[in-house]
Structure 1
Amino acid sequence: MKVFVIDVAKCSGCYSCQLACKNEHVGKDWTPYAKPQPQTGHFWMKIKETEHGSIPKVKVEYRPTLCMHCDDASCIKAAKDGAVYRRKDGLVIIDPEKAKGQKQLVEACPYGAIYWNEELNIPQKCTGCAHLVDEGEVPRCVDACAHEAIKFGEEEELADLIAKAEVMQPELGLRPRVYYLNLPGFFVAGDVYDPVSDEIIEGAEITLNNKQTGESWTTKSDDFGDFWFKRLKSGQYSLDIKMSGYKPIQISDIAVDKSVNLGSLSLERE
């Protein structure tokens, strides 16, 4: 069974995969797998660009996204007359003939991976470049990635990577066949300084606590006074800062539903 494994840490946001998908499908008829993709409005492979944090603590995430080719695909359930089917190799295909007029398939996908072609009156999405796979080739997005951030192959061959990866919205229970490595999650960051000397403080001990799970992480401010806690899940956190010669401080309520820059935190001398 085929799978995609995408390493977000390797993605530079060059958009080559997105452009290659367009080049492969716009104006080209790959019946029985797909009719031509419109020149605008469709992104069967799309780079989702997300800015985390605020200046100067900012990280940019580039995440290639496509049809998840789910084992328990909601689009298959929503389709009439077998208009959506799963191939033996795991790729999920919308039959462009049977799917005519079935606009409900657009809303059926919780990942937003299905688009409506108004001119052809059909729903469309990534086919995994099934026409190329049939010829023993890889999807165009995989071939176009200069950093090998997107891999495609047999589940058994990529098992070691899959074991370290995660899927989007696992709570939906759809069992996606697109796996992601090194998703950044959220971060909590800031810096510490001495307001009297107006100098940064290096080596301060900073501890972040997840108030819901009880987990905690400790780091030290670097030679710029900065600290970072990365790959965090959403939740309620608290932060403790200790440094010899200074009074400890605590920030008791940090709501992490996005990345948080706490800014410059001053320590008072004892």
Structure 2
Amino acid sequence: MKQWYKVIDVALCHDCNNCFMADKDEFVDNDWPGYTAPQPRHGHRWIDVRRRERGTYARVDVAYLPLLCQQCQNAPCEEAGNGAVYRRPDGIVMIDMEKAKGRKDLVDSCPYGVMWWNEEAQLPQKCILCAHLLDDATWQAHTTRCAHICPNVVMKTYFIEPEEMEKMIVDEGLEVYLPELGTKPNVLYKNLHQYTKNFISAGVLVDGDCYEGATVTLRSKEGGIACTLSGAGVANCEDTSILATRTTNFFGEFKFDGLNNGEYTLEVDAGGRKHSSTVTVDDQSLNLGFIEL
């Protein structure tokens, strides 16, 4: 059966907060019977743009992560709700405004921190993926308000079969946020590594000048030479420790991104002049300055 999915490209988000304002415009002081009570004027961030700065001057970048209800298939709030939270057949997770009355405990059941408490209404609330609009045949945009307003097309809403989404995940390299939670979200991210992982970057100088065209190799501390024999008895060998290679640009710079925590070996070959060092990524991106050869 078709499901509603949202895909968010972290690389395209500029933190303009148009999505945040569209959400406020749609839900603050607006009652949508059967869907949700009015959102309070202050305090709630049903879509919250999180920020992360990586690296140090001058090799630094900033990533923005629009975070909202993940529309989980294994929703912890649904499990804790005892009927106060339910998942529609189309994948949208909803809060029953009658059964959830007084259930402040449900706010803490969300591991993503995207459920909010409405003190005046005594209700937990969250993003409902604009279900009231998606159910409305006259809503010509046929998407959520946040996706409709985004100038950079950071967000896209899809109503497709799970098999189609599985193909899209592979084709576009989509990921879920905090996969270790095992909640199986229907919200997926592209270029998520810019927010969740780290990079190693540096410049290469030869005789004091920026060196363009140096080959830089990043190796893991694990791996080695793996060989297989062909039918003709010929050995085909591969160095499995090599994670990636880069070529320095006009400014002599290189960058390896999407790295997990761990120890790496960095090797530089600039026209025969070589360098090797061990670097450790520990929850921080590394600007190694200049490697002088």
> What secondary structure is seen at the aligned counterpart in 1 of 2:267?
strand
- 1:172 and 1:239, CA in 2 relative to 1: closer, same or farther beyond 3 A? same
Aligned to 1:173: 182
For 1:212-264, what per-residue CA distance to the aligned partner results, in whole angstroms no more than 9, with x for missing partners?
A: 46342111221111111122233322211222353x22221322423211112
Say whether residues 1:222 and 2:234 are aligned partners. Answer: no
Aligned to 1:264: 290
Measure the CA separation in 2 of the matches of 1:188 and 1:177.
31
Aligned to 2:159: 154
Give the AA of the match of 1:150.
M
Aligned to 2:214: 204
For 1:56-96, what per-residue CA distance to the aligned partner results, in whole angstroms no more than 9, with x for missing partners?
A: 1111112221100101100001113x110111211001122
Measure the CA separation in 1 of the matches of 2:34 and 2:264.
52
Measure the CA separation in 1 of the matches of 2:96 and 2:221.
49
Give the AA of the match of 1:181.
K
Mind listing any 5+ residue stretches in structure 1 that lack a counterpart?
none
Say whether residues 1:232 and 2:253 are aligned partners. Answer: no
Equivalent residue pairs, number: 263
- How many Å apart are 1:125 and its aligned residue? 0.5
Mind listing any 5+ residue stretches in structure 2 that lack a counterpart?
224-240
> What secondary structure is seen at the aligned counterpart in 1 of 2:65?
strand
Q: 2:150 aligns with which of 145, 153, 160?
A: 145
> What secondary structure is seen at the aligned counterpart in 1 of 2:246?
strand
Aligned to 2:227: none
For 1:188-231, what per-residue CA distance to the aligned partner results, in whole angstroms no more than 9, with x for missing partners?
A: 1011214xx43222222211112246342111221111111122
> What secondary structure is seen at the aligned counterpart in 1 of 2:77?
helix
Measure the CA separation in 2 of the matches of 1:60 and 1:52.
6
Aligned to 1:70: 72
- 1:165 and 1:240, CA in 2 relative to 1: closer, same or farther beyond 3 A? same
Aligned to 1:193: 205
- 1:217 and 1:129, CA in 2 relative to 1: closer, same or farther beyond 3 A? same
Measure the CA separation in 1 of the matches of 2:94 and 2:269.
57
Give the AA of the match of 1:262.
L
For 1:136-179, what per-residue CA distance to the aligned partner results, in whole angstroms no more than 9, with x for missing partners?
A: 33211111112222111213365543333111122222110001
RMSD between superposed Cα atoms in Å: 1.8
TM-score of the two chains, using structure 2 as the length reference: 0.84
Measure the CA separation in 1 of the matches of 2:271 and 2:158.
54
Percent sequence identity over aligned pairs: 42
Measure the CA separation in 2 of the matches of 1:245 and 1:10.
39
> What secondary structure is seen at the aligned counterpart in 2 of 1:62?
strand
TM-score of the two chains, using structure 1 as the length reference: 0.90
Aligned to 1:130: 131
